[in-house]
Amino acid sequence: MRILVVEDDAGIASGLRTNLQQRGYAVDVCDGVAAAWSALRAERFDAVLLDLGLADGDGSELLQRLRLSPAADSPLQTALPDPATPVLIVTARDQVHERIAGLDQGADDYLAKPFDVDELDARLRALLRRAAGRASPTIRYGEIEVDPAARTVRRQGRPVEMSPREFSVLLVLLQARGRVLSRAQIEEGLYSWDAAIESNAVEVHIHHLRRKLGATCIQTMRGVGYFMPQESL
Ligand code: CA
């Protein structure tokens, strides 16, 4: 899961980056409205953590611009930015009217600074779950059961060991089930800008996932990418 942190306080930004990376997220940081808008137009993010008081403007401008951008016409179309990208406002402005304004402008949730990182992570998981259209915290797919919060996978009730990257690939494909994702789209969910990408990493992770979860769980569409069928085979 890839998160964009929009925060102009370098200390808070680096703390968020470290904490979220330890929890398995790919994290990119922007310090202002303009930089964040460029990032959202260039890459797909699963959620945005948005500070309101930014050096070059107010975070709510970015939120409004994002919500007004056109929706993708086709599920295969990668029109960016996605206006439905979940946004969690994280700010020192904790006045009730500020919170209401933020939620009215289309924020999905609101957290006042200073905040507890465990609470932030829990809210982030809830946002990602809602964004994927699921109310239940566990994802069931045939004989596979995935718990995104605990980052555990079971197959026929038995725990399956996997690396954090394998888990991320599985989650990206599972949340997009029924849709074909290119290798680049899968990589976007795995790496932040500054991370080195190994050229055949996605293929290797998928090879391991098939070995652990069954050969048919992830399908290849030659020359296009990978997908998990809507219903497990
Ligand atoms: Ca700020």
Cα–Cα–Cα angle for 192, 195, 198, nearest 5°? Answer: 115
Contact status, residue 4 vs residue 25, Cβ threshold 8 Å:
no
Report how far ligand 1's centroid is from the alpha carbon of 51 (Å). Answer: 6
Burial code (b: 16+ CB inside 10 Å, e: under 16) for 202-212 equals: beebbebbeeb
Largest Cα separation within the chain, whole Å, is: 53
Question: Would you write out the chain's pLDDT as a tens digit for each of its 233 residues?
Answer: 899 999 999 999 999 999 998 888 999 999 999 999 999 988 889 899 999 999 999 999 999 989 887 765 444 445 578 888 999 999 887 677 877 888 888 899 999 888 898 999 999 999 988 887 665 678 889 999 998 767 789 999 999 999 888 988 998 898 888 999 999 888 887 776 666 666 678 999 999 999 999 999 999 999 999 999 988 76
Report how far ligand 1's centroid is from the alpha carbon of 15 (Å). Answer: 14
Of the candidates 55, 42, 70, 44, which has an alpha carbon nearest to the alpha carbon of residue 6?
55
Residues in the chain: 233
Q: Report the SS3 class of residue 57.
A: strand
Question: Distance (Å, rounded) from C-alpha 23 to C-alpha 150?
Answer: 10
Please report the pLDDT score of residue 194 as a whole number: 63
Report how far ligand 1's centroid is from the alpha carbon of 99 (Å). Answer: 16
Contact status, residue 50 vs residue 13, Cβ threshold 8 Å:
no
CB within 5 A of ion ligand 1: which residues?
Answer: 8, 51, 53
Q: Please say which residue of 109, 131, 153 terminates a domain.
A: 131
Please report the pLDDT score of residue 75 as a whole number: 45
In a domain, 232, yes or no: no
Report how far ligand 1's centroid is from the alpha carbon of 28 (Å). Answer: 16
Number of domains forming the structure of the chain = 2
Report how far ligand 1's centroid is from the alpha carbon of 115 (Å). Answer: 14
Report how far ligand 1's centroid is from the alpha carbon of 31 (Å). Answer: 9
Residue numbers of the domain that contains 223:
139-227
Question: Distance (Å, rounded) from C-alpha 198 to C-alpha 41?
Answer: 24
Show the beta-strand stretches assigned E in the chain: 2-6, 26-30, 47-50, 53-54, 57-58, 87-91, 109-112, 139-141, 144-147, 152-155, 158-160, 219-221, 225-227
CATH code of the domain in which 124 resides: 3.40.50.2300
Please report the pLDDT score of residue 191 as a whole number: 72
Report how far ligand 1's centroid is from the alpha carbon of 211 (Å). Answer: 46
In a domain, 233, yes or no: no
Report how far ligand 1's centroid is from the alpha carbon of 8 (Å). Answer: 5
Please report the pLDDT score of residue 200 as a whole number: 78
